[in-house]
Amino acid sequence: MDYTKRIFEALNYIQSENDFQPEFGIILGTGLGALVDKIRIEHTIEYKEIPHFPISTVESHSGRLIFGELSGKKVVAMQGRFHYYEGYDMKQVTFPVRVLKLLGVKKLFVSNAAGGLNLNFQVADLMIIEDHIDLTKENPLTGANLDEFGGRFPDMSEPYERNMIDQALAIAKEEGIRCHEGVYAGVSGPNLETRAEYRFLKIIGADAVGMSTVPEVIVARHMNLPVFAISAITDLCDPDHLEVAELSKILAAAAKAENGMTILLQKLISLQ
């Protein structure tokens, strides 16, 4: 079936289940798991119930849409997101973003885990994504343009809304949360990078590197949806002093960053 038709079938199913009209969409990536507890949940829908929706392969992710109120605003949150390295193609990875837009969200909030390349960063710091470099292996906009969503050659001069970045930096300062702004390099994974690759990423201007977010942001911008995205710096990737990556350490760093990220997002959304 035609991709656009599948998007509308998913939308129709969700709208037949509840008439909740979210103002904001949130992709609960690493660091934002605890934000769920701050949402006054009105309704949830399992991904597996929604026609054509991809299903999460990562067991720790439940895979559902959560509709409710956060900081006095109506939100829809994706609990469980899709990565290219899991075997989905980029059109599957970004399918839910199209559906969120059609549900009426006015802004998209995204989080992720990333390796820190900037030597000023410490483990468990936050980095607000100010710009990105797409090094992924497939572009979600490849193929016939979906004219009903946006133009053929989407503008990328401000992929991340400047006003929200400034608001978030001010919140972090007020709250004493360690937070930077920087450039995120998006890669396909699943392997981490070699020392030569980390060196390359630093030279081309990246402050952090991770395996998500860029495809979702490209599709959001295709639809002219403003985006705010933030990384939890889970490990430091200094090519001259590279340590063996340990998943347990990465997860511990993500957990440490969670509290600050949750506060920051709650306050940022209250200002929109």
Residues that bind ligand HPA (CB under 6 A): 113-115, 187, 192-193, 209-211, 234-235, 237, 250
Q: Report residue 133 as tokens.
A: 């470099």
Q: Report residue 55 as tokens.
A: 């299903």
C-beta of 10: minimal distance to ligand HPA in Å?
A: 29
Alpha helices in 104-210 (DSSP H): 162-175, 195-203
C-beta of 85: minimal distance to ligand HPA in Å?
A: 10
d(CA 115, CA 3): 34
**Measured from the CB atom, is 106 or 195 closer to ligand HPA?**
195
C-beta of 167: minimal distance to ligand HPA in Å?
A: 26
Q: Report residue 42 as tokens.
A: 């009105």
The residue with tokens 């440490």 is 256
The dihedral over CA atoms of 72, 219, 226, 84, expressed in degrees to the nearest 10, equals: 60
C-beta of 133: minimal distance to ligand HPA in Å?
A: 13
C-beta of 183: minimal distance to ligand HPA in Å?
A: 14
The residue with tokens 């990105």 is 132
φ, ψ at 40 (rounded to 5°): -80, 100
**Measured from the CB atom, is 172 or 237 closer to ligand HPA?**
237
Helix (H) or strand (E) holding 186: strand 179-186
* Residue 48 DSSP code: G
C-beta of 25: minimal distance to ligand HPA in Å?
A: 23
**Measured from the CB atom, is 68 or 260 closer to ligand HPA?**
260
**Measured from the CB atom, is 41 or 204 closer to ligand HPA?**
204
For the beta carbon of residue 120, count every other beta carbon within 10 angstroms: 9
Q: Report residue 27 as tokens.
A: 């992709």
Question: Would you call the peptide bond into 22 cis, given omega within 30 degrees of 0 as the criterion?
Answer: no
The residue with tokens 């990737």 is 237
**Measured from the CB atom, is 167 or 213 closer to ligand HPA?**
213
C-beta of 128: minimal distance to ligand HPA in Å?
A: 17
**Measured from the CB atom, is 135 or 263 closer to ligand HPA?**
135
Strand partners, 182: 129
**Measured from the CB atom, is 113 or 126 closer to ligand HPA?**
113
Question: Minimal CB distance to ligand HPA: which residue?
Answer: 115
